[in-house]
């Protein structure tokens, strides 16, 4: 099969060829006669751009992470100042545990760009407190970990995935330790294993209450020492670069914006790993740092990747409530400070502001009930009593038994005049973890060729409807590792040339806009961002209803139209990009995915609780899957320039090719956003939506077939 795709002056032929001895076929990109030979000969993929950098980096001394990364930044941005396109074997988007762990492995086989939107350590990983779960004691078993995960996931987990993760977990922990991560040990000299809610054994490996920071430190140090890995910090991934091969979408890299120099940098890569973490920031109160704006999920959605289970947003019951602190922080925090559930596990008791213990009224397990149950109970107390926070008290424990396991929490309290040893801690629930994401097969593969996912951005089937505590770092470690082999295979059989970089129109920074217009756009965007967060909290929070979800749908769509109209009135053009605008676009996308998925689930399961369908229903035990953006790929025999698709950057309303509201919500009238009512919907009227329930296994089999044929 050959598909000819016009690309500037050259043509590329996409062929499916047999791979000898493997009994399988693989799609490969082969330069046509006009280009072949010279390009293959002259351009060494692995070292084309990176050779100079390698020479520069030889001088690095093993100094602390921050200094090292600063030196690296100087090198990358100065030496490549005129180079707006970079070629790598592997592009890794995200520098949390998933991205870094993967980068370290694939670097043994080619050049790697790690692209990250802020400082390299800024990630959810860096904030993880409790630890990583793994079966590491003789009294524990993989079977027990599997069962705990499936029960927590409300039986929506993919059992094969759960088994794989629980089986491979211990080896992944040993590898981390070999790389220099240091975890707490007990008096017997063995790893100290903590126990958390939902786990029937002690199996949480931890570094005090700063486990994520230790993992990030160890991995980042290893990455910065690796001459094959190049860190591009302050590079915001804007969109994946995709093209169409018959009915398959192929990923060939990513466009980024260097937010320090305001340059658009294009990365062309044989393989791309999306490891961009979660989307907690779509809620106003979240434990996630500002980088967690759901960019990866939105980019993947625009690139036609399958997205799944977005209704399952985990709210952590106990984040520090600033309103209740003796000394108020001078500046509002960007992300809420987490009070790990190990505090409840260690005997912490929840009280309302009248010092009435309320958990036993709701659940016989009291404070040790599951995370989602505790979050709902706190939510109920706050609403009924019209209060802003509840209190978590651990003061009945001896002082040293509080300070030893929770030094970080104690220190944070002291900053604001709170001594947690004699005083209760003010807490509120906060958005914490996104169980849904880009649907992945057992090797991190997606339905987009050349695009792999790992970590929180992925929906592997491990968490089902609710994540078991400490299973996410584990999932990231396991899938980052599993994605390595198929990535290398894909890389070996891909050959791209320089002309690839001209296939897509380039996004541009808004240099033509006056600073006054830019300031107004920024102010408007910040305001709209807050409004979306507030809608999500009010209508798509811990306890949901169909009416509230429909209201959210209505408000979000109207707000998005208003925001886009404003930008275009101010002179914004369709190809323009900026940090806030790109994040805002992704915010809208993720918010709509959560709402449409929540509307699709007519039952209460795991993290999704709706008063209109309060019970579990066996017939609904299926993952949700919102409609994809471009349902009909171009016909093979009629290749047209549109078959090379840069995922559309924001465009004016008349010509906008972005994802219309109707693609999330059928029946939505694009031309009359004001007249759409909460009940505007498809043939089913109220509650109609584009989200669908699909069996997990069938879909994944399809993904695996694609990757291995
Ligand atoms: C406060 C807190 C405590 C937690 N505690 C635990 C725990 O005890 N145990 C556990 O298992 N899990 C815990 N979690 C969850 C866990 O930390 C995360 O799920 C996990 O670290 C995700 O890793 P990741 O590599 O997928 O993503 P992240 O660590 O979030 O990394 C994502 C990376 O992608 C980058 N990025 C995002 N968008 C872009 C873009 N557009 N362009 C370029 N780069 C981009 C970010 O800057 C970041 O570097 C906790 C989370 C939080 C917030």
pLDDT band at 65 (very low <50, low <70, confident <90, very high): very low
User: Measured from the CA of 95, which atom of ligand 1 is nearest?
Assistant: 49
**551 and 425 within one domain:** no
Nearest CA to ligand 1 atom 9: 470
Tens digits of per-residue pLDDT, 242-292? 999 888 999 999 999 999 999 999 999 999 999 999 999 999 999 999 999
Find the length of the chain: 709
| pLDDT band at 674; cut points 50, 70, 90 | very low
Q: Is the pLDDT of residue 126 over 80?
A: yes
Give the model's pLDDT for residue 629: 64
3-state secondary structure (DSSP) of residue 294? coil
Number of domains composing the chain: 2
Q: 118 in ligand 1 pocket by Cβ < 6 Å?
A: yes
What separation in Å is there between the alpha carbon of 120 and the centre of ligand 1?
A: 12
Q: Is the CB of 97 within 6 Å of ligand 1? A: yes
The C-alpha atoms of residue 591 and residue 703 are separated, in whole angstroms, by 26
Write the DSSP symbol of residue 129. -
Q: Are 551 and 534 in contact (CB under 8 A)?
A: no
The CATH number given to whatever domain includes residue 630 is: 1.20.58.100
Nearest alpha carbon to residue 556 among 598, 608, 613, 520: 598
Work out the angle at residue 398's Cα, subtended by the Cα atoms of residues 393 and 401, and round it to the nearest 5 degrees. Answer: 90
The verdict on residue 512 lying in a domain is: no
pLDDT tens readout for residues 344-397: 988 999 999 999 999 999 999 999 888 899 999 999 999 999 999 999 999 999
The predicted-structure confidence for 642-673, as pLDDT tens digits, reads as follows 223 323 333 333 323 334 444 455 444 444 43
Q: Is the CB–ligand 1 distance for residue 128 below 6 Å?
A: yes
Rounded to 5 degrees, φ, ψ at 530 are -65, -40
Given the CA of residue 133, which atom of ligand 1 is nearest to it? 11
Last residue of a domain, one of 384, 405, 430: 430
Question: What is the average pLDDT across 612-635?
Answer: 78
**Stretch (H or E) spanning 413:** helix 407-415
Q: Does residue 465 surpass a pLDDT of 90?
A: yes
Answer for the pair 595, 270: CB distance below 8 angstroms, yes or no.
no
Ligand 1 atom 41: residue of nearest CA: 237
Of 381, 401, 430, the residue at which a domain comes to its end is 430
Distance 633 CA to ligand 1 centre (A): 33
Give residue-wise pLDDT tens across range 201-249.
999 999 988 999 999 999 999 999 999 999 999 999 999 999 998 889 9
How far apart are the C-alpha atoms of 233 and 116, rounded to whole Å? 5
Q: Residue 1: inside a domain, yes or no?
A: no
- The span from the CA of 34 to the CA of 677, in Å, is 56
465 assigned to some structural domain: no
* Residue 230 forms part of a structural domain: no
CA angle centred on 441, ends 3 and 694, rounded to 5°: 95
* Segments forming the whole domain that contains residue 376: 321-430
Residue 155 lies in a domain: no
> Residue 566: inside a domain, yes or no?
yes
3-state secondary structure of 11: strand
CATH of the domain at 405: 3.90.700.10
Beta partners for 468? none
Give CA–CA dist 217/208, Å, rounded: 15
**Is residue 115 within 8 Å of 91, Cβ to Cβ?**
yes
User: Looking at the structure, do residues 413 and 546 belong to the same domain, yes or no?
Assistant: no
559 and 679 in a single domain? The answer is: yes
Q: Is residue 116 part of a domain?
A: no
Check whether 23 has a pLDDT greater than 70.
Answer: no
555 pLDDT higher than 90: yes
User: Which atom, in ligand 1's list, is nearest to the CA of 458?
Assistant: 26
Six-digit token string for 541? 């929070």
Query: Any bridge partners for residue 7, and if so which?
Result: 10
* Residue that finishes a domain, picked among 410, 430, 450: 430
Please indicate whether residue 371 is annotated as part of the active site: yes
Complex ipTM, two decimals? 1.00
Q: Is residue 542 part of a domain?
A: yes
The DSSP code for 55 is: H
**Rounded-to-integer distance, Cα 446 and Cα 458, Å:** 9
State whether the beta carbon of 455 lies less than 6 angstroms from ligand 1: yes
Q: What is the per-residue pLDDT for 630?
A: 53
pLDDT of residue 253: 97
Residue pair 92/269 in contact (Cβ under 8 Å)? The answer is no
| Residue 13 pLDDT > 60 | no
Considering the domain architecture, whether residues 541 and 420 belong to the same structural domain is answered as no
Alpha-helical (H) ranges within 80-203 are 97-106, 124-127, 142-152, 159-178
């Amino acid at each position: 099969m050959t598909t000819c795709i016009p690309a500037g002056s050259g043509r590329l032929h996409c062929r499916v060829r047999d791979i000898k001895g493997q009994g399988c076929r693989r799609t490969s990109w082969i330069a046509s006669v006009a280009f072949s030979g010279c390009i293959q000969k002259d351009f060494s993929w692995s070292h084309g751009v990176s050779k100079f950098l390698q020479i520069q980096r030889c001088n690095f001394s093993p100094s602390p992470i921050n200094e090292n990364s600063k030196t690296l930044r100087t090198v990358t941005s100065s030496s490549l100042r005129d180079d707006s396109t970079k070629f790598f074997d592997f592009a890794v988007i995200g520098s949390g545990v998933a991205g870094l762990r993967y980068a370290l492995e694939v670097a043994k086989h080619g050049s790697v760009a790690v692209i990250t939107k802020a400082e390299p350590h800024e990630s959810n990983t860096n904030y993880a407190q409790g630890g990583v779960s793994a079966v590491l004691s003789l009294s524990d078993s993989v079977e027990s970990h599997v069962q705990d995960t499936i029960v927590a996931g409300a039986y929506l987990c993919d059992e094969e995935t759960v088994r794989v993760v629980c089986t491979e977990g211990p080896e992944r922990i040993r590898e981390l330790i070999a790389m220099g991560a240091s975890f707490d040990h007990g008096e017997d000299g063995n790893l100290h294993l903590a126990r958390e809610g939902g786990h029937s054994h002690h199996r949480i490996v931890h570094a005090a209450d700063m486990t994520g920071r230790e993992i990030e430190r160890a991995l980042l140090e290893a990455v910065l020492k690796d001459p094959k890995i190049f860190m591009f910090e302050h590079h915001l991934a804007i969109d994946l670069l995709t093209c169409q091969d018959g009915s398959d979408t192929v990923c060939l890299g990513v466009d980024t914006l260097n937010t320090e120099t305001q340059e658009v940098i294009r990365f062309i890569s044989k393989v791309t790993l999306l490891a961009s973490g979660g989307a907690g920031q779509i809620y106003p109160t979240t434990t996630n740092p500002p980088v967690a704006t759901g960019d990866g999920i939105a980019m993947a959605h625009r690139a036609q990747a399958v997205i799944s289970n977005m209704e399952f947003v985990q709210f952590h019951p106990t984040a520090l409530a600033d309103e209740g602190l003796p000394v108020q922080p001078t500046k509002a925090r960007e992300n809420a400070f987490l009070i790990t559930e190990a505090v409840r596990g260690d005997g912490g008791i929840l009280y309302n502001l009248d010092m009435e213990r309320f958990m036993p009224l709701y659940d016989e397990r009291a404070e040790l009930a599951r995370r989602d149950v505790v979050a709902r109970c706190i939510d109920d107390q706050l609403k009924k009593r019209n209060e802003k926070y509840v209190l978590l008290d651990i003061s009945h424990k001896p002082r040293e038994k509080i300070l030893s396991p929770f030094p970080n929490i104690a220190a944070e309290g002291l900053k604001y005049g709170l001594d947690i040893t004699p005083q209760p801690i003010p807490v509120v629930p906060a958005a914490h973890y996104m169980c849904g994401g880009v649907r992945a097969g057992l090797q991190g593969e997606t339905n987009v060729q050349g695009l792999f996912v790992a970590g929180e951005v992925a929906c592997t089937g491990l968490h089902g409807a609710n994540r078991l505590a400490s299973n996410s770092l584990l999932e990231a470690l396991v899938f980052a590792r599993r994605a390595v082999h198929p990535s290398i295979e894909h890389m070996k059989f891909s050959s791209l040339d320089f002309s690839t970089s001209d296939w897509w129109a380039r996004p541009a920074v808004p240099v033509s806009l006056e600073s006054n217009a830019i300031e107004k756009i920024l102010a408007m965007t910040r305001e709209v961002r807050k409004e979306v967060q507030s809608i999500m909290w009010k209508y798509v929070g811990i306890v949901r209803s169909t009416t509230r979800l429909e209201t959210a749908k209505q408000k979000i769509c109207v707000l998005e139209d208003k925001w886009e109209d404003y930008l275009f009135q101010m002179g914004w053009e369709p190809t323009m990009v900026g940090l806030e605008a790109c994040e805002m676009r992704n915010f809208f996308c993720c918010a709509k995915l959560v709402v449409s998925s929540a509307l699709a689930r007519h039952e209460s399961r795991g993290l999704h609780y709706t008063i209109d369908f309060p019970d579990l229903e066996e017939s609904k035990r299926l993952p949700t899957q919102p409609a994809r953006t471009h349902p009909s790929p171009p016909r093979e025999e009629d290749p047209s320039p549109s078959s090379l698709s840069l995922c559309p950057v924001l465009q004016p309303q008349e010509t906008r090719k972005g994802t219309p509201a109707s693609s999330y919500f059928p029946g939505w009238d694009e031309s009359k956003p004001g007249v759409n009512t909460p009940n505007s919907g498809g043939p089913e009227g109220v509650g109609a939506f584009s989200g669908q329930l699909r069996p997990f296994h069938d879909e994944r089999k399809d993904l695996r077939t694609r990757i291995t044929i």
